[in-house]
Structure 1
Amino acid sequence: MGSPKTGLLSNWALLISAVCLSFVLAAHSAPEEALVTHLPGFNGTFPSKHYSGYVTIDPKTEKRLFYYFVLSEGQPSKDPVVLWLNGGPGCSSFDGFVYEHGPFNFELSYDGLPKLHLNQYGWSKVSNIIYLDSPAGVGFSYANTTAAYITGDNETALDSHTFLLKWFELYPEFLLNPFFIAGESYAGVYVPTLAFEVAKGIDSGLKPALNLKGYLVGNGVTDEEFDGNALVPFAHGMALISNELYQEVKQACNGNFYNPSTDVCKQQLEKVNEDIDGLNIYDILEPCYHEPSKIKITGASNSRLPSSFRLLGETEKPLGVRKRMFGRSWPFRAPVRPGIVLTWPQLLNDLSVPCTDDEVATSWLNNPNVRTALHVEDEGSTGGWMLCTDKISYNHNLGSMIKYHKNLTMRGYRALIFSGDHDMCVPYTGSEEWTRSLGYKVVDEWRPWMSNDQVAGYTQGYENGLTFLTIKGAGHTVPEYKPREALDFYSRFLLGEKI
């Protein structure tokens, strides 16, 4: 036991160390030049601090990824930090910010900029959240060489990991917060591959050490066979095709719907395709809208409907109906085949995205005052903001995601796989099947889960922290269709509570 003098010196040493550490964190805390002080269209007070800007991940190509960071409205110093990724590939995460779970609801205005109102179900109610435009060429992210826009699964995961390491150097005060990675659609590839890179970095002692706790994937593409076979059972279960046709196509295709090997199978699949043609692939309950030359399909709220759109059937017949989602033009193209995956504009030779009305986001994010407020680089570098870009060439080069989910959950990372049960783009039937295929023991048998005293969907829990969850009545972008329910399951999962 040391002398009183020695003990006093030790206490002073601890105090000095604590002061020095506090000074270092304060000196390197959130960069003030990234602070967002106002947003055109919003006249109130921000409920928490917002930051936005760029992280340079490759000085040679000047590859710069853009982020928007919203601090938690609860306890930012303790609440989880969540990275959000939209899919595509090639689609901006401002899709999630504007239309899904950002801090604002956007109201379309025909005499000026959209008006912003606080979103009572924004995910920043319970977490710090980073919206990242990835890979370079998407949204406001850019590079100074076209070669940097040739990318794929592996490259995107590596670049996003580099972003995270550099981002936490800019915001070191959040290093001890629980960290999660979340996303939807093609982020079913982005999320597990990035989580794997983060986990490898943690195991190897890479600094800064991220406090990864788990990840969330919503209606995410995962595996060629499971996703490709999901639509026929979904269509049958939702009464979109007759039982007779279902039995015929099962027999003709021998259960293999995603890769038809006979002409009879192809013919039966075409009958299925004819029956479901014209439906909103993102939510079969939602109506279709169209301009004179093309169909567009709105999301959950008709407040996003441009005045030039009309309900299908109210006026003249449309000239054509948009088909399946890119790389998912079932039955002739499976969801995640290896090789080049065309972005929406490349597939359709059209900058608008089928089934999506992006007028609000496009008008707001391309306004010069908004770009200035967000600290966006000049348009000569970034180009105009598009929901989904045609700049990139994207290669699906990491195959099935099942091996990544297996690796991560076996390491102890918690995973929530959630599905809007009326999405025909990535049907819940495929996600339910592949989660079961991992072979984990069921520890929470299939049951309803509740939100606002109502059945909000169904869930099944497995060992190793894996949970599958459906959201009743939701489409492809769950928080857009069911914002209250989405905030409920999101909050519970982050806290490690039973959903």
Structure 2
Amino acid sequence: MEKFCLLLVSLLFLSLLFNGGTARALRNQDGSEEWGYVEVRPKAHMFWWLYRSPYRVEDPAKPWPIILWLQGGPGASGVGIGNFEEVGPLDTNLKPRNSTWLRKADLLFVDNPVGTGYSFVEDTNLFVKTDEEAAKDLTTLLIKIFNRNEKLQKSPLYIVAESYGGKYAVTLGLSALRAIEAGNLKLKLGGVALGDSWISPEDFVFSWGPLLKDLSRLDDNGLQKSNSIAQKIKRQLEGGQFVESTESWSELETVIIRSSSVDFYNFLLDSGSDSTTISAMELGLSKRISMRRYSKYLSSLRGAPGGDGSDLDSLMNGVIKKKLKIIPEDVTWGKQSDLVFTNLEGDFMKPRIKEVDELLAKGVNVTVYNGQVDLICATKGTEAWMKKLKWEGVQNFLGKDRTVIHCGSDLTIKGYYRSYKNLHFYWILGAGHFVPTDQPCVAINMIGAITQSPGPGASS
């Protein structure tokens, strides 16, 4: 009887919240924030949160942009991680962030795919199984948000991704273009930016061993073990064994951790694997450890209790959930959804180079940026997959000289930049996997250049 009453309350809540497939959106008093749910498919609900910039500059020659931030994982929460730990207006202590990307654009965060963060499904069969399915849901979300708001339609949308989010970004870019061409989606696609993105898993796993050997983090024996598993992954991918290749990816990460104790998100740091982690690996739980490593990294840098992100969990399930008012009581926010990852493990190791080629061929501005000391999506691997592009301009791009990047009055070299037509690449020195956190000044100026924003820059 108790379960029936809870179900009835939940259904009543949903009937009040949703109307015609679109959630009732709420906003704060001054209209600078708006959020809500979109029912992207029956019983599949995606949460979004839009911030309007206080730095907005009205310039007809350069319309104020909107950035859609896509987190990685897969299954990591953009509404939580990207927002409060990387580029949003407030940090996890709810203090203003000087390096917020609101200086350059409005920010739209989503918990994608459904089942991530505040997004939820009423039936576990509704989790997405492919990047294309995730892109279709995101396109539906954009249709529901943009088609009803003429002001938003005037701003170009830039899809900016991190890590696995890069695979969502390129598939969404193509899906959104099709919807725009068909007249179903009313927005201007400004471009796609791929930050330390998991575009070609094969190229990344082959980069790990040689890179770590050159850094003295692996010896010849460790290099041989790494390359052997990478070769196995290559054979599995060629044979269409995508789930098996995901298992081998996890095996390779475990071998590298045991051999080098290197941090996958900054190869200058140690992984800090404790006896509990090692025991979990020995028990065959290495994939679960690999899945959760992404969502723990930023919290460990900030010295969160136990390095497990418990402070962000408390914030999102406490003060923020209370503020938002529309999160169902039985939805518990989490940094990383194991179920989302598990349902995508058949797509996890599939490359998305072809989609990048298609975007370039359609004239879409594509920017790639990479942190120098990232390992999981190492620059060495990124450069390798970019050389595989079939886009007609790739050889001219590769032949261009790089331009040095500084920040503000600091004459220290912060990175390098190369551009040809609609393909652009940033090498960000001193940054690991999370560029906006590691090099905030460079990141703000870079995103300003990508979006051609008239907003204020950053100083060193």
Alignment-mate amino acid for residue 230 of structure 1: S
Matched, 1:450 2:401: no
Q: Does 1:89 align with 2:37?
A: no
Q: Which segments of 5 or more consecutive residues in structure 1 lack a partner in the other structure?
A: 1-30, 38-45, 107-114, 262-268, 296-318, 330-341
Q: Which amino acid aligns with 1:374?
A: L
Q: Spell out, residue by residue over 1:276-330, the C-alpha distance to the aligned partner (whole angstroms, 9 max, x if none).
A: 5322111123355577x635xxxxxxxxxxxxxxxxxxxxxxx65879xx9xx8x
Task: Return the alpha-carbon distance in structure 2 between the equivalents of residues 186 and 33 of structure 1.
Answer: 28
Residue 420 of structure 1 corresponds to which residue in structure 2?
371
State the SS of the aligned residue for 2:415: strand
Deviation at 1:184, TM superposition (A): 0.8
Q: Specify which of 184, 189, 204 is matched with residue 212 of structure 1.
A: 189
Q: What does the per-residue CA deviation read over 1:219-273, in whole Å, with 9 as the maximum and x for residues that have no partner?
A: 111124322212123213434235x6699789x8699585489xxxxxxx89983
Change beyond 3 A, Cα 1:486–1:425: same
Unpaired segments of 5 or more residues in structure 2?
A: 1-22, 237-251, 300-308, 455-460
For residue 277 of structure 1, what is the aligned residue in structure 2? 260
Structure (1 or 2) with the larger CA radius of gyration: 1
Counterparts of 2:253 and 2:202, CA distance in 1:
19
State the shift of 1:81 in Å: 0.9
Contact 1:229 1:258 (C-alpha < 8 Å) held by counterparts: no
Separation of aligned partners in 1, 2:430 and 2:294: 26
1:429-444 equivalences in 2 (<5 Å)? 429-438=380-389, 440=394, 441-442=396-397, 444=400
Partner of 1:182: 160
Q: Is the 8 A contact 2:113 2:128 kept in 1?
A: no
Match of 1:35 among 27, 38, 50: 27
CA contact (8 A) 1:241 1:275 kept: no
SS of 1:426's partner is coil
The 1:282–1:322 alpha-carbon spacing in structure 2 relative to 1, beyond 3 Å, is farther
Give the TM-score normalised by structure 1: 0.70
Match of 1:476 in 2: 433
**Partner residue in 2 for 1:305:** none
Residue matched to 2:177? 199
d(CA) in 2 for partners of 1:478 and 1:270?
Answer: 22
Deviation at 1:202, TM superposition (A): 2.2
Deviation at 1:384, TM superposition (A): 1.1
* Cα distance, 1:90–1:445 mapped onto 2, change above 3 Å: same
Indicate the residue corresponding to 1:27 in structure 2.
Answer: none
Instruction: Specify the alignment match of 2:12 in structure 1.
Output: none
Structure 2 matches for 1:93-108, cutoff 5 A? 93=78, 94-106=80-92
Residue 203 of structure 2 aligns with an amino acid whose one-letter code is F
CA distance in 2, matches of 1:129, 1:160: 15
Instruction: Provide closer, same or farther for how the CA distance between residues 248 and 372 of structure 1 changes in structure 2, counting only shifts above 3 A.
Output: closer
Mapping of residues 288-437 of structure 1, within 5 Å: 288-289=271-272, 294=276, 320=279, 344=288, 353=295, 355=297, 357=299, 358-367=309-318, 369-380=319-330, 383-392=331-340, 393-397=343-347, 399-437=350-388
- TM-score scaled by length of structure 2: 0.76
Amino acid at match of 2:90: F
Letter of the structure 2 residue corresponding to residue 142 of structure 1: F
Contact 2:65/2:105 (8 A) holds in 1 = yes
Q: Deviations over 1:311-361 (max 9, x none)?
A: xxxxxxxx65879xx9xx8xxxxxxxxxxxx7x47x77x899554532221
Q: Letter of the 1:105 partner, please give it.
A: D
Q: CA deviation at 1:57?
A: 1.7
Contact 1:435–1:468 (Cα < 8 Å) also in 2: no
Q: Name whichever of 471-480 and 351-360 sits farther off.
A: 351-360
Any idea what SS the aligned residue of 2:141 has?
A: helix
1:129 CA drift (Å): 1.0
Residue 50 (str. 1) matches residue 42 (str. 2): no
Residue deviations 1:36-93 (CA, integer Å, cap 9, x gap): 35xxxxxxxx9x81112112222xx322110111112222763111111101111110
- Greater helix share, structure number: 2
The change in CA–CA distance for 1:165 and 1:468 in structure 2 (over 3 A counts) is same
Residue 362 of structure 1 deviates from its aligned partner by 0.7
State the one-letter code of the partner of 1:468.
F
Q: Residue deviations 1:397-430, cap 9 Å, x none?
A: 4942111111101111111111111111111111
Deviations 1:368-413 (A, max 9, x none): x421212332222xx2111001333225449421111111011111
Q: Is the 8 A contact 2:179 2:185 kept in 1?
A: no
Taking only aligned residues, the RMSD between alpha carbons, in angstroms, comes to 3.5
What count of residue pairs does the alignment treat as equivalent? 392
Deviations 1:104-160 (A, max 9, x none): 122xxxxxxxx3211111011110110000111110011222211253211101000
**Structure 1 residues 447 and 193, CA gap change in structure 2 (3 angstroms):** same
